[in-house]
Structure formats: C-alpha cells, structure tokens
Structure 1
Amino acid sequence: MTNRLFDRSVAPAALPEADTRGPWRYLWWLVRVRPWPLVLGAVLGTAWMVPLALVPLVIGRAIDEAGRPGGDQAGLLLWSLLALGLGVLQAAAGAGLIQAAVGAEAHALSYTHRVLMRHVVRLGATLRDKARSGDVAASAAADVESIGNAFEVVGRTVGAVVAAVLVAVALTATSPVLGLAVLIGVPAAVLGIGPLLRPLQERDEAQREHMGVATSQAGDIVAGLRILRGIGGEAGFAERFRRTSQDVRRAGESAGRMEAWLQAAGVLLPGLVTVGIVWLGARLALQGTITAGELIAFYGASAFLTLPVSTATEAAETLSLAKVAAGRVCALLRLTPDDTQPAHPRPLPPGPLSLADPHTGVTAEAGRLTVVVTPADRTGDLADRFTRPGGPRDGTPAVLLGGVPLDRVDLAELRSRVLRSGPADTLFSGTLREELAARADRSPRELDRALFAADAADVVEALPAGLDTHVDEGGRALSGGQRQRLVLARALLAAPDVLVLEDPTSSVDAHTEARVVERVAALRAGRTTVVFSDSPLWRGVADREARPGPDRVPGSPDRSAGVPS
C-alpha cells in the first residue's frame, strides 16, 4: 500500500549519509531526514484518540442533563450532537492516520533499504570477508521491517499520550481524588511493563543472531547442493541445518514467551487501574460526591485508559525490536571497504596495460596472455593483489598497472578497465540476455562471439527460450560447468583492457576445455589476459608462463624471489 504523498522518489546521489554511531542515533537520523510523515501521523493520531477520550465525558454530561428534574432538552440535544461530532471527527482522523502511518513506515523501510544497498555496493567483493550473507539478508528483510513497524506506531502513541493527559485533567477537574488516582495509576501501569523490555530485547537479539547463522547456512547449502550430492554430504549438511533450525525455533519460542508476558502485563495492569477507579468512583457516587452521569463518565474514561496503556506497551515493544534491528543495520553500515579512492589519482595510459608485481616477480605483458601457476589455495590472494587497489597491507610494494601503482589509480577507471572473474562469481536472476549483455553498447555479434569463445552456445540453445530464458538466482537450474561457461562468456563480453581469470575451466571436461582455451586466446588477442591455472591446456596457449616462488605468494614469508619463465 503506497500513497503518492509519501512516495516521492529520492535520487541516489541526494540520499544523505546515515548516522551509524548507535541505534538510537540512526533512528533519529531517519526522523530528521523526513519528519513530516511522523508529524502528520502525530497530529492525526491525536485527532483520532482525543474524541475517544472525550466521548465518555460528553455522554456523562448528557445523562446528567436527561436525569435532572425539568432538565433542559436543548442541553441534552447539544451534548448529543457533540458526541456525534466527536464520532465523525474520530472516523475522519482514523482514515487519515492509516495513510500517515503507512507513509512513515514506508519512509523508514525505503531509506533503510537504500542506505543498505548503497553500502553493499560500496563494499563490493570485500563484503564476503566482512559479514555473513545471512546477516545481510536478515537485515534487508527482518531488520528493515522492525524499523518500519516502530515508525508506524508513532502517531498512535503520541495521540494516546495526549488523550491520557486530557482525560486525567478532565477527571481531576471533576473529582480531584479520582483525577489523582488516574495520574498515579496510569503511569504506574506503564512503568510496570518496563522490567520486561530488557529480557525481551536480549532474547530478540539472540533470535536474530541464530536467524543470521541459519540463513547463511541455507544459502551455502543451496549454492553447493550439486557438489554435496556428488560427494555424499547432503545428509550431513541437512542434519547440521536441522540443528541450526531448532536453535532458531528455541530462540523464537523464548522471545515469544517474553512477548506474551509483555502483552499480558499490558492487559492486566491497566485493567487493575480501571477496576480501582470504578470502585473508588462508585464509593464517591454513593456518598453523593459525584453524580450518576459523572460516575458513568469516570467508568468510560477509565476503560478508555486501557487503550493508551496498550498502545504504550506496543510502542515499547516495537521500539525495543527497532533498537536491535537498527544496531544490526549500523554494524553493517560501519563496515569499511578495503578499496579506497586515492587522494591524488594518476591516470592510466591508453591502450593495452601491463601488470607487474615487484613482490612475487609475476609480470603480464601488455596485450599478451599470461598463465600464472600457483597453489590453488593462494590463487585468490594473488588475484586480489592484481585487481584490488587497497594498497600493500603487509609492507610489500604495490602492483604496477601500466606502470602506475595500483593504489594510485582512480577507482572508476580501474573498474572500467580491469575485470576479475573467478569461481565465486554467480548469475543473477533475470533473462540470460540481460545477465550477459548488461551494457547496452554490446552488439548481438559481440554476444555471439563471447558465447562461442566460452563454448556456451550449446547451453543457450538447450534453454527453452534461448537468451530470453529467465535464469533463477545463482543459476540453480544449470550445472556447474554450464554456469562457469556463462560466467566466462559474461567476462569476455565485457572486453576489459585487463582480464584476470581464476581457474575458468575447472568445472568442464578436457574436450570442452581444449576448445575454450583456443577460442579465448584468439578472442583476447591484443588485450592483456592473466589466467590462474595449472592446466597444461592453458599453459600450451600462453604467450608467457609465470611461477611465483612459494614464499612470495601472499600470506607466506618473504624469503625468495619469484621465478618467471
């Protein structure tokens, strides 16, 4: 449900930076960014709640007018019309309150989603090393929803507070004793709920942590399901996930029990206040201190007070959950990318670019195909050095790209001219054509050439609608070899000046690999290509082969020089 009044689009560039110094500061930042939905919700919430509080008082006066000997019928009619007017006002304000509350909730949801997605893009490939995928998914779903719920209840809460104060003042003016009972009883009922909030928050945090672990495990299992079946590990991982699911269930039950106690307190405590006020009012009526109409008014007003207390209970609960959720969101937003923009970037030379690593001795000549033979467990570290501009973190010199240190290259230029493709790459959901040819300036001929070079044309032909077939997230319906060839085709179609490939044919058979290496070498002729592989087929088509010394591979002590061949 959306409303154009609250659905004005905000350009990504205009989205301000979030305040991540703490959960309350983040929630207050959301309020400051766009306060009007909350202000309107508070006004309409007050206009909706106050008539509810005044109706019992008006009806009490009408009863007194009707019961007075020789009562004034005009006065009775006036109070009756006033009660009707309050009902109409409440109905109109209630309709507007729904719209305002949804608008405030949509604002919190939208902005939190935007700042999360923007930061995920900023983190890029470093996100996998800094946060579990389950934490990101849970924040984008459950945490964002919890924050939105807190904004939705603000209007009703403000209205409840104003109405409760108004009722207390009105009752005090009629009977100071009853007014004092209300002024003491209602805050006491609200404060009595307070001790339950901390345990609820702690149990919600525990449940959220278990949910993040379970989501991460589920994603890992789905991504590697074919491999798990192949090695007979499917049952073992299913049992592990079953245990994790039970942990989530137990944590949810624990949080649910505490929430049930909170809800019960929200009914019991204001109920006790109502019973006490009615008993005291009845005693005063018997003594003749108050009239029958005033007694009815007191009863109706005290019964109404259960609504503000229950609303306050709901607000306390949602704010507690929102605090936990905002803390999780802030933790993600505080993650910093390893790749930073240099203060004074240097431009790269035009044309083919060379790569040279002074630390490992590995060099890739401009416009040539270089195969780097290195231990499989160190391939990712070397590929990071060749493509990540974070700079030398262990005291080693930076890699030179076209003679320019990698940590001095402008990030936008680096990402447009250097592309890394490895086993962690995946396929996103959408049509295969959109997935492969994301850039509009790629022609159908170039797409066909990339598919041919990756030996993926048969994969496309086997799909029901060819390139227009919708691909599930991660390409789950495809085999490992099919996914790898399509990912390779996507990298080739991008046609970067420098292409770094990590084991690009590890999931295909030898015949397919032979075709791929020959075609890739032909397609990439004149452009710099670095392939990390120990396959003799790749080494056979290489213009140059490099073997960094084992002690020079990132993560190893620096004791010997690399040995390029």
Structure 2
Amino acid sequence: MSNRLFDASVAPAAVPEADSRGPWAYLWWLVRIRPWPLVLAAALGVLWMIPLALVPLVIGRAIDAAGQDTGQTGLYLWSLLALGLGVLQALAGAGLIQAAVGAEAHALSTTHRVLMRQVVRLGATLRGKARSGDVAASAAADVESIGNSFEVIGRTVGAVVAAVLVAVALTVTSPVLGLAVLVGVPAAVLSIGPLLRPLQERDEAQRELMGVATSQAGDIVAGLRILRGIGGEATFAARFRRTSQQVRRAGESAGRMEAWLQAAGVFLPGLVTVGIVWLGARLALNGTITAGELVAFYGASAFLTLPVSTATEAAETLSLAKVAAGRVCTLLRLTPDAVRPEHPEPLPAGALALTDPDSGITAEAGRLTVLTGPADRLADLADRLARPGPAGPAPVRLGGVPLDRVDPAELSARLLRSGPADTLFSGTVREELSAGSARSREALARALYAADASDVVAALPGGPDAWLDEGGRALSGGQRQRLVLARALLAAPDVLVLEDPTASVDAHTEARIVDRVAALRAGRTTVVLTDSPLWRGAADRTVRLAADPDAAPGGPDRSAGVPS
C-alpha cells in the first residue's frame, strides 16, 4: 500500500499514548484519561440501586405501621417514602443509561483511535507483523468487549453499595439474619470465581480461531479470480469450512461455560434467598421479628439476587475485556520499521536523487530511471529504496541523506512507493484518489489522464463522485491498477517508485500510460521497476539487475549490471 497513506502526521493527536504493558494496564489507562463518565455512572448506579434495596424495608415498616392502633399517619408517611424512592430510582435509571453509554462510547472510540493510529504507524509493514484477521477482529469484537466492560461498571458499583446497605440494615434489625446475609451473599459471589478462568481460556481459543478464519475469508475474497483460474475454489472452500467448524466448536465450548456461569448466578443467590426466608420465618414464629420485618427480609433477600447477578455479569464481562485488551496490546506493541530519529536531518529542496550504495544503483534527480531484472530482486530492491531498513554500513540515501536519518513524516511526503500490493478503499473516487488531501479538479484530471483512467471514472455512475466498494472489487484488474497509479501520480511526490505499474493493461494502453507519465513527471525523480520494453524505451536511464547479487557483470557496479 502506498506509504503516503500511512503518514504518521495524520494520526489522531488528541489521544495520548496508550499503556500497552498488559490488558489490565490498558483498561486502567482508559479509565485514567477520562474518568468522569465512569464516576458519574457509578454515582447514578448507587442512586438507582439504593431505592431498590430500601423499598422492601420501607414496605415492611408500612405493614407494621398499619397493624398498630396509632392511626393511618405512619402508613401514609411510609407509603410516600416508597413513592419517593420509586421516583428517585426512575430518574437515576434514566441518567445511568446515558452515563453508562457515554463511558462505553469513550472506551469504544478511544480504542478504535489508538488502533487506527497504530495501523497508520505500521503502514505497509503491518502485513508482515500481524494477520489481517487479527486486526479486523480487534477492530470489531475486541473493541466491543472493552466497551461492554465500561458499560457495566456503574451498575456494579451501585449493586455493591446497595448490597452493603441491605446487609447493614438487616443486621441492625436482626443480627442473626444480618450475619446470614453477610456470609451467604459473598459466598455466592466467590463460588462463581472458579468458572471464570475456564471461560477466559475458551474465549481466548475462540478469538484466536476467529482471527484465522477472518484471514482465510479475506484471502479467498481477494483472490477469487485467481482461484477460479487455477481451479482452487473447492480446496480453499474446504479449508475455510474446516476452520469455521473449529470456530463453531470453540464457540460452543465457550457458550457452555458461559451458560454454567449464568446458571450459577441464578442458582447460588437463590439458595441464599431460600435460606434467609426460612430463617426469617422461624424468627417470626418465635416472635423475634414482626410480620413487617419478615416481609422486609424476604424482599431484601430477593433483591440481593440482583447484586449477585450483576456481579456475575461484571465478572464475565471483565474476563472478556481482559482477553480483548490483551489482543489490542499485542497489536499496540508492534513496532514500525521506520522510527523517527532523535536528530532527524532535513532533505534538500527540489528534485532528489535516490542512491543505493549496496547495489550501486542511482536514480538521478529529476529523471526517469527504469530498473529491470529478476522479479524477486526487483521486489527486494523496491522495499529497500522506499523504506528505511536496519542500520547498516551502506544505507539508501535520498538527496544525499540516509533514509534512516529522515523524519518519517517528511519521508512519506517526499518519497512514495506504489506497487501491486496497493489496494483501493471504500469511498468516492475523488476521496480515494486524493487520499484525504486537498487536490484541485485540474490536478485530478491530469492524474487520471496520465494513468489512462479517465474512461474508467467516466463510466462510473457519478463520475469522480461515484462510490467505490472496498478493494474496488467491481472493477477489473486493469481498471484497479490504473486508478492506483492515478492516486500515486496525484500525490505528486518528489520521488516516485513504481513497481510494475502497467502489468495488468494491454500494450496499447501501456504505451499511452508510459508516454503520459513520463511527460507528467518531467523534472521529478521517477523510478520504475519493470521488464516492460515500453518503459525502457521511455527511460532516461535503464539499469539491469544481475540474477546473482554477488555477480559483477558490470565491473565495479557489482549488482546493478550494465547501465544502458
């Protein structure tokens, strides 16, 4: 993909660097950079849960007040208090939904942005460092899991506070029942713990298989035409079916463990409720507590199933979020090949020469240089010319400055590589070709003309404003290649490295493209790696690479061969 598209200067600057040391460190970083949505959600969660916890106690007092011969004043007061608690719960619940969604949106959007920034930094090197399926799964499933964990925090904090409040109230009323609650509820929550680790392990296994399946599906879609040509559709489809069945089995395994977790979240607090009601009934029969207090104890114990189920949900959600955050951290810890030097050297203004001392090749400033030779050597050389490699005795120089000494932002603005791995993204033709930069209609028309792609755009409904599907899959191979070339030409870099830019077009179209590109790029450095005789005929200088890097057919120019 063209390195101009991965200019680090366009990365979101408002988001600080993420803490990628581990999943919990990353989740805590999300909390630290914007804590207020979570704080508000927690406060509203408490205000939402406390009325639920107090209503059974208030109703119990109202029953006792109605049974006394002191008039109806006490009953009315306790009834009004219950009504007030209901109104408070409704208002707090409405605010809690908004606050929780805000916290979730913060986690979602921030994780999306740090992932996009990392993709921008890695650029074309991402393909060699991570599977496309892993990136796609992180941008979809992992981000959603992290967002869900933030949504549940407010309710969880409210549930914990309300459970403590109920336990204290029951203990004041009856120490025996209070002790039963204080022991039973934590025991129910802790009993769920042993199920979390197996669930997490099965989720990790499913997530890994999903990444593999997504990568395979992407390969099949991208190479469908080729697969049809060689009769490989059935083989690749069978391989994908096997992988998808593995994903299904892994999902079923994780689902079974999740079902056990949900069942435990209902069964265990149910046992606590049954025990408290039984004990409370015994105390009521003995006269230790009143009928109203028995009702209050029953309502409170029934309410306690909500904090336990909420805690179960939070434990499950956080377990999934930990797995997701770990995947995100794995991507964030990948390092790009091009790192900004501590003291970058500026490039000279104007046309730039591109020199590779290792191969002896020099693309003179402002001229069209064509490199020919074995395909593997051309591909390796394209990587070397357009991207700073590891520090070595003979780094590639741009305008006399070693590539690894140039600021990556300036390098991507002055040097552009376009090759067969480039792709088209979804969006309008104008947006896609301009790559987010402001370009005039005249510049766009010139680039399309030089790439002989004017007819391609004219045939689309809407012309330059027509919508392109992802990868330009509705276009032929030659049409896609011409639009990719037009995008590179529209960028107008000082140095343009093109890999086989006309491999998918016919000879007549290629001849027009060669002449027009040479005219458009006059005065600027252009390097074309191809075996096409048409490009060689238009070149200011042609260099043929030897098949053996150690061969020296041209004497001192060891690997470059003989200039012509």
TM-score, normalised to structure 2, is 0.94
Residue 439 of structure 1, CA deviation: 6.4
Match of 2:47 in 1: 47
> After superposition, what is the alpha-carbon deviation per residue over 1:308-360, rounded to whole angstroms, capped at 9, x for unaligned?
00000000000000000111111111111110112222222222211111111
Paired amino acid for 2:56: P
Match of 1:351 in 2: 350
Paired amino acid for 1:436: L
Distance 1:380 1:322 in 2: 41
Match of 2:457 in 1: 460
Q: Does 1:157 align with 2:156?
A: yes
> After superposition, what is the alpha-carbon deviation per residue over 1:232-263, rounded to whole angstroms, capped at 9, x for unaligned?
22222222222221111111111111110000
Distance 2:215 2:251 in 1: 18
> How is 1:32-111 mapped onto 2 (pairs within 5 angstroms)?
32-68=32-68, 70-111=69-110
> How is 1:139-538 mapped onto 2 (pairs within 5 angstroms)?
139-392=138-391, 395-438=392-435, 442-538=439-535
Distance 1:525 1:185 in 2: 82
Q: Which among 554, 559, 562 is matched to residue 560 of structure 2?
A: 562
Aligned 8 A contact 1:361 1:548 in 2: no
SS of the residue 1:159 aligns to = helix
Aligned 8 A contact 1:453 1:520 in 2: yes
Aligned 8 A contact 2:360 2:558 in 1: no
1:440 to 1:92, Cα distance in 2 relative to 1, 3 A: closer
1:439 to 1:155, Cα distance in 2 relative to 1, 3 A: closer
Paired amino acid for 1:489: A
> After superposition, what is the alpha-carbon deviation per residue over 1:192-244, rounded to whole angstroms, capped at 9, x for unaligned?
10000000001111111111111112222222222222222222222222222
Paired amino acid for 1:460: V
1:441 to 1:250, Cα distance in 2 relative to 1, 3 A: closer
1:462 to 1:230, Cα distance in 2 relative to 1, 3 A: farther
1:474 to 1:387, Cα distance in 2 relative to 1, 3 A: same
Residue 464 of structure 1, CA deviation: 2.0
> After superposition, what is the alpha-carbon deviation per residue over 1:90-110, rounded to whole angstroms, capped at 9, x for unaligned?
111111111111111111111
Match of 2:5 in 1: none
Aligned 8 A contact 1:355 1:401 in 2: yes
Paired amino acid for 1:287: N
Paired amino acid for 1:38: L
Aligned 8 A contact 1:362 1:548 in 2: no
Aligned 8 A contact 1:547 1:562 in 2: yes
Distance 2:361 2:220 in 1: 36
Aligned 8 A contact 2:374 2:545 in 1: no
SS of the residue 1:363 aligns to = strand
Aligned 8 A contact 1:341 1:411 in 2: yes
Q: Does 1:19 align with 2:19?
A: yes
Distance 1:502 1:365 in 2: 18
Residue 515 of structure 1, CA deviation: 2.2
Paired amino acid for 1:562: A
Aligned 8 A contact 2:48 2:158 in 1: yes
SS of the residue 1:57 aligns to = helix
Moved more, 352-361 or 441-450: 441-450
Match of 2:129 in 1: 130
Paired amino acid for 2:15: L
1:170 to 1:445, Cα distance in 2 relative to 1, 3 A: closer
Residue 519 of structure 1, CA deviation: 2.2
> After superposition, what is the alpha-carbon deviation per residue over 1:154-193, rounded to whole angstroms, capped at 9, x for unaligned?
1110111111111111111111111111111000000010
Paired amino acid for 1:228: L
Match of 1:8 in 2: none
SS of the residue 1:563 aligns to = coil
Moved more, 450-459 or 293-302: 450-459
Distance 2:365 2:562 in 1: 16
1:401 to 1:207, Cα distance in 2 relative to 1, 3 A: same
> After superposition, what is the alpha-carbon deviation per residue over 1:431-476, rounded to whole angstroms, capped at 9, x for unaligned?
1122223466533333222222212122122212222211111101
Structure 1: which 5+ residue stretches go unaligned?
1-10, 554-558
1:525 to 1:370, Cα distance in 2 relative to 1, 3 A: same
Paired amino acid for 2:101: V
Moved more, 501-510 or 536-545: 536-545
Match of 1:3 in 2: none
Aligned 8 A contact 1:356 1:399 in 2: yes
SS of the residue 2:31 aligns to = helix
Moved more, 533-542 or 164-173: 533-542
SS of the residue 2:370 aligns to = strand
Moved more, 347-356 or 415-424: 347-356
Distance 1:539 1:479 in 2: 26
Aligned 8 A contact 1:48 1:89 in 2: yes
Match of 1:539 in 2: 536
Paired amino acid for 1:443: S
Residue 391 of structure 1, CA deviation: 4.0
Paired amino acid for 1:349: P
Aligned 8 A contact 1:150 1:315 in 2: yes
Aligned 8 A contact 1:362 1:547 in 2: no
Distance 2:531 2:471 in 1: 27
Q: Percent identity?
A: 82
Aligned 8 A contact 1:551 1:560 in 2: no
Distance 2:242 2:321 in 1: 28
Distance 1:388 1:417 in 2: 12
Moved more, 268-277 or 342-351: 342-351
SS of the residue 1:19 aligns to = coil
Structure 2: which 5+ residue stretches go unaligned?
1-10, 551-556
Distance 1:37 1:195 in 2: 31
Question: Cα RMSD over matched residues?
Answer: 1.7
